[in-house]
Amino acid sequence: MRLASLFRTHEPLIAVDIGLSGVKLIELDTRGSAPELINLGSASLPSEVFHNNLIAKPEIVAEKLSALLEANSISDRRTVTAVPAPAVFTKKVRMPKMTAAELAANIQLEVGNFIPHKIDAVKIDFHVIGDAGKNQLDVLVVAVKDEVVDSYVQALAMAGLEVAVVDVDYFAVQNCFELGYPELKDRIVALIDIGARYSGVNICRGGHSLFTGDVPLGGRVFTEFLVENLGVSFEQAEEMKRQAGKPEHQKVAGLLAQKIESVAVEFNRQLSLFWNASGVEDGLDYIMLSGGSSALPGLQSALQQKTGIECQILNAFRGVECGASFDPEHLADLKAQSAVAVGLGLRQIGDKGAAEYE
């Protein structure tokens, strides 16, 4: 089953980003010169919804999604969603030049040699990166367990939605980045999307992913740090974390600075490992942060100091036309955490994979 190219027609799709802490829904009109924001909604999710990257309680997700669809008067039923990076196996392989059909058949034969799962228990997709010389191609192969994809499909189906495209969260962030920052597209950029329990890393250049991985650090390390040091509930700590940038919460910001320092050190270490594994000779030019905790006061500057690389917070709505019906302050609050959803909203059926090679 091809994850990214089930059909080859153009149609509007509802982007649904289901994360550990919440679900985001975005609808973009991509017919104009710039995508236009049509609908935007989000809802929190209890932690027990997920288990080992699977949606263990799809009925809760479906209930939240149904409410968002009704609140935004959305009648379209076809969706694009993303599975989490830790559930995905990726590998860049070199293949002889051949037709797209031959390439798909050969990858199916060869993939069993390098994925850590039974071939009949995974869904496989591939993307041709480019010419590798000597009559060869560089190809990115992506494999996800059936049970992971099926859990997302089931949750969406219970909300009356049909999945048309399945993406991976860090590739969705790349779509968002390339839309909003075309001046950086040909530079080597590390996209770090900070989730609740992990952070997806995608090192890319020129529209191609050079290396992907995930770091077992996310926003919950800051929440748990506040719980331990202030003796508050998890929910109270989450709210404190969200308010840490406001002047009246300087004490919380000062406390978080201690944890931010150690997190920046670990990100720097992991980035060095990823960079060495990528095999690219040139150095990193930029780091772009996204995800809810990326906007924590001091995190951006701490990471920039530790790495010596310019670090920015990705504005997911840069390059998107947002009409007067959307509150600018609300969009500003959501700009860092909406990169996956916006990137999904840019997808169209058949826009990735072998179609680009044909």
Asked if residue 245 and residue 157 are part of one domain, the reply reads: no
Q: Which pTM does this prediction carry?
A: 0.89
Query: What is the domain extent for residue 54?
Result: 1-85+146-180+316-351
- For the chain, the straight-line distance linking the first and the last C-alpha, in angstroms and rounded, comes to 18
Whether residues 294 and 330 share a domain: the answer is no
Tokens of 98: 């051949």
Amino acid at 103: L
Same domain, 280 and 198: yes
Q: What is the pLDDT along the chain (358 residues), one digit of tens a residue?
A: 344 443 345 678 999 999 988 999 999 999 888 999 999 999 999 888 998 889 999 999 999 999 999 998 888 889 999 999 888 888 888 888 888 888 888 887 777 777 777 777 888 888 887 787 888 888 888 888 899 999 999 999 999 999 999 999 999 999 999 999 999 989 999 999 999 999 999 999 988 888 888 999 999 999 999 999 999 999 899 889 988 877 777 888 889 999 999 999 999 999 999 888 877 778 899 999 999 899 899 999 999 999 999 999 999 999 999 988 999 999 998 999 999 999 999 998 767 644 343 3
Our count of domains for the chain comes to 2
Let me know whether 45 and 172 are in one domain: yes
